[in-house]
Structure 1
C-alpha cells in the first residue's frame, strides 16, 4: 500500500510515502499526535495515492453488542462529514489499538477484535467507501485483517518499529511534529476527583445549586447569574496567570494541575460549574481562546472538569468542551480531541461538543471558528467613549 501522508505537507515539508502495513502502523502516532490506546482510529484517504485526510477516534466499547451501531456511527461521521465538506474519501485506513490484559497475548486481542474490524469495514462499504487496510496494534506487534499473505503478515503478528527509527519518525523530526503520551495520560488531567475532596466538592455543588437554580428560573436573574459567572471566571483566570510567570519552565502536568486546584476553592468551582450550564454564558466564555487569555482559560476549564464529581458528572460537558475548544484553538489537537471525546461521553447530545469534535477531527481551519467568536465579542464592545465592562 502506497499512501502519501497528509500531516507532514506543504511546500517546505517532505512528502512521505508509506509502503505496506508496517509503515502504516508506525505512522499512526504521527497522524494523531499521540500514542493511541484502547482506541478505534479511522483515517480518510484521498486520491489514487491515498493522501491522509480527516480522522476520527473513539474508545473501543467494552460490550461487543455495541460494536455494529458504533461502527455505523463512526463510518457516517468520517465519510459523510468529509463529503459534506466537498472531500468524499476514496478509502479508509482503520486501526484497532488495545494492549493485552493480564495473561493475554496480542494475538488473542486481535482475534477478539476481529468482529469489530468486520463491522467497521462493512459500515464503510455500505457507504461505498472501501477500507484499504485494517490493522490491530497490540503488545508491541501488529496484524492486518486485510492481508492473507503470511509472508508479510504472519499469524503471530509483526513487531512494531523501534521508536524513532522509521522513515516517518525521521520526516516528523524534520518537520517539527511531536508525539504526546497516550490519550489515557491526557484524560487523567480531566477526570473527576475521588475521595474526601470529591465529597466536599459535591456538597459545595449542592449548595450552589440551591442558591443559583431558583435565581436562574426566575427569568430576570438568569442574565445576572451569567455576568457573575463570567466575572468570577475572569478573577480566577487572573489568579492562575499570576501564579506562573511566562519564563517559568513547564512543570510536571500532575504537579501543575495540583497547583491550579489549590488556587480554586470548592465554592468558586461549584458556582462556575453551575453558571456554565447556561449556553449563553458558555459561549461568552469560549471567547477566551487565544493570546494571554488562552493559557489560564484552559487551566481553569481543566480544573472545573476535575470538580464535576458524583451526581454532577454530566455537568462536566461544558468545561470539557471549553477545554477542548481552547486546546484546539491554541494548537494542541490531541488534547482537544481527548477533551471533546470526554465531553461527548458525559453528554452525547451536547451540540457544541459534537460540532467541535467533528470539525477538529476533519482537520478544518480553526481560524474560521475563532473569527466567528471574535466577531461576537466585538459586537458587544462599547462604542468609543462609552462606559462599559472591558472584555
Structure 2
C-alpha cells in the first residue's frame, strides 16, 4: 500500500473567521504554465485557528491568497501525542462482517492518494456512541475555540501548511476548503494525480458548504501545474472561489492567481518556513510538523528488539493456552460462549485501565489480540468508541504480533477519524490492510476516508452492545473460525526482530 492516501472526518475546534480580499477579480481558467500562471491578484490576510494538540496530521485550517484574511481551525498535528492515531478495495470478509459494518452505505472505490480532513459543524464534533458513552457527552455543546494563527502572506500560508497536515509535504497537492471564513476541509494528494482523482471534491464542497478554496502545490512545475489547473477548473465548475493557488519548490514559491511582477516575479519568491513567526506560534500552540509522512508512519510501526521478543513469547503462551482449552472442551458452542464473554470483559477492562492511565502487560495484550480476532469482541470496542480510546488501540497495534494487529489497527483508525486525525487514521488502515487486504472493517474505513466522508455519517448508526447481541444472537463455535484460521496461518507470522 502506498503512503499517499486517505481521508477522514475531523472534530477540530471551530473558530470565527473572515476573508478580506484586496481584490476579488474572477479567476480565469488556469493556464498550463510550469510555474505561475497569469491571473488576477487576490490579496488577503488570513487567520487560521488550530485545535488542541492531540492528533497528528489532521488539519482544518485556512490558508490565504496572495493576501487574504482567514480564520479557521485544525486538530493538532502532533504525531506523538497520546490521541494520535493512524487502503485497498472494498472486499468483504464474510467471517468479519457484523451489523456495525452492514449499517453503513456502500462506498465507491477511490484511489488511495490522499490525506484529508472534513471538519464537522460544532454540533457534530462528537459521534453518538454506546449508551455508556452518551451521558457525559453533550453533542450540541459548542467546543471552546482554539488558538489562532494569523497568516498575512503566501509565505505564512506555506509556513502553516505543514502544521495543518502534520508533516512537511513533498510532491503534493493541498486543497484547503473554507465556508463562511471557517476551514472545513484540508486535503493532500501525492503527485502526479491519476485522471479523475479530484472528482470527489465537488460533492464534498456542496455537502460541506465550501465557498472558497486555497490551493498549494509542492514540486516542479511540470508536476504541480496540471494538478493545480485541474483543481481550479473543478472549483470553477462547482462555483467555488479560488482565493489563492501557489506552487512551492526548492525554497521559492509562485502564485497562479497573481501576474504582478512586483510581488510575484517570474523567478519565484524566496521563503523560509523555519524562520516564520507562524511556525513559532504553531509550536507554542503545541502543533508539530514532522519531516515527512514516513516519519508519521513510524509512530505506529511494530515494536522491535526485546519488546518484540517478549510479546512473541507472550503470544505463544496465549495460543498454547487457547489450544489446550479448546481441545479439552466437550461442547464447542459452550466454549465459544464462554470465550466471547471473557473477551468482552477483557476489552472493557483494557479500556478502563488505559482511561485511568495504566498500561496492559504483555500477557494481557497477547490475550486481547486473540480476543479481538472474534468479530463480536472487536465490535465491542467499535460500539463503545471514543477518541480517548486511541491510546489503547495504538499500543496494541504496535505490540501485537502482526497477524493479530488488523482489528486493533482498524479500531485505532476509527478513533483517529472521530478525532479529526485523518492522516494517522489512514496510516492505521494501511497497516491493517498490508497484513490482511480483505479485512472488511479496514476496507470500510478506507472507503469512508478516501471519499472524504465526515464521521458524522455514523451518528445514530452505531448499535449498542445490547443491540449487537440481539442482532448477532448467542455465540457459537463458528465464531471462533477467524481466530483458528489465524493460528493455522503461519505464513502471516513475522519473526521477532
Q: TM-score, normalised by structure 1?
A: 0.59
Q: Distance in 2 between matches of 1:270 and 1:337?
A: 28
Deviation at 1:272, TM superposition (A): 2.6
Cα RMSD of the aligned pairs, angstroms, is 4.8
Please give the secondary structure, in 2, of the residue aligned with 1:189: helix
Residue 338 of structure 1 is matched in structure 2 by 423
Flag the 1:242–1:51 CA change in 2: closer, same or farther, 3 A. closer
1:16-51: CA deviations, max 9, x gaps? 98665324323425644x44444745334357x876
1:199-231: CA deviations, max 9, x gaps? 56457657767858x97xx88866654433332
- Is the CA contact 1:53–1:362 (under 8 Å) kept in the aligned structure 2? no
Residue 45 of structure 1 is matched in structure 2 by 177
1:69-108: CA deviations, max 9, x gaps? 3x743x234333443x363x556433345xxxxxxxxxxx
Residue 385 of structure 1 is matched in structure 2 by none
1:282 lines up with 2:348 in the alignment: no
Deviation at 1:302, TM superposition (A): 0.9
- Is the CA contact 2:409–2:428 (under 8 Å) kept in the aligned structure 1? yes
Q: Distance in 1 between matches of 2:469 and 2:430?
A: 36
Q: Distance in 2 between matches of 1:80 and 1:278?
A: 37
Q: Distance in 1 between matches of 2:305 and 2:280?
A: 42
1:170-196: CA deviations, max 9, x gaps? 7x89xx965234366654331112345
1:268 lines up with 2:268 in the alignment: no
Deviation at 1:285, TM superposition (A): 0.5
- Is the CA contact 2:73–2:182 (under 8 Å) kept in the aligned structure 1? no
Greater relative contact order: 1 or 2 (C-alpha under 8 angstroms, separation 6 or more)?
A: 2
Q: Which of residues 372, 383, 408 in structure 2 aligns to 1:319?
A: 408
Q: Distance in 1 between matches of 2:225 and 2:447?
A: 26
Flag the 1:68–1:225 CA change in 2: closer, same or farther, 3 A. farther
- Is the CA contact 1:95–1:136 (under 8 Å) kept in the aligned structure 2? yes
Residue 203 of structure 2 is matched in structure 1 by 80
Q: Distance in 2 between matches of 1:135 and 1:318?
A: 40
Residue 159 of structure 1 is matched in structure 2 by 271
Flag the 1:209–1:46 CA change in 2: closer, same or farther, 3 A. same
In the TM superposition, 1:90-239 aligns within 5 A as 92-96=213-217, 110-111=219-220, 114-119=222-227, 121-122=229-230, 125=233, 128=237, 132=242, 133-137=244-248, 141-144=251-254, 146=256, 149=259, 151-154=262-265, 155=267, 157-161=269-273, 165-166=277-278, 178-182=286-290, 186-195=296-305, 197-198=307-308, 201=311, 211=322, 225-239=339-353
Q: Distance in 2 between matches of 1:219 and 1:153?
A: 73
Q: Distance in 1 between matches of 2:355 and 2:364?
A: 17
Residue 257 of structure 1 is matched in structure 2 by none
1:4 lines up with 2:84 in the alignment: no
Q: Distance in 1 between matches of 2:318 and 2:161?
A: 44
- Is the CA contact 2:159–2:273 (under 8 Å) kept in the aligned structure 1? yes
Flag the 1:344–1:94 CA change in 2: closer, same or farther, 3 A. farther
Q: TM-score, normalised by structure 2?
A: 0.49
- Is the CA contact 1:43–1:94 (under 8 Å) kept in the aligned structure 2? yes
- Unpaired runs of 5+ in structure 2? 1-64, 75-120, 123-141, 327-331, 471-497
Flag the 1:352–1:236 CA change in 2: closer, same or farther, 3 A. same
Residue 96 of structure 2 is matched in structure 1 by none
Residue 54 of structure 1 is matched in structure 2 by 185
Flag the 1:51–1:243 CA change in 2: closer, same or farther, 3 A. closer
- Unpaired runs of 5+ in structure 1? 98-109, 245-259, 383-391
Q: Distance in 1 between matches of 2:422 and 2:351?
A: 23
Please give the secondary structure, in 1, of the residue aligned with 2:175: strand
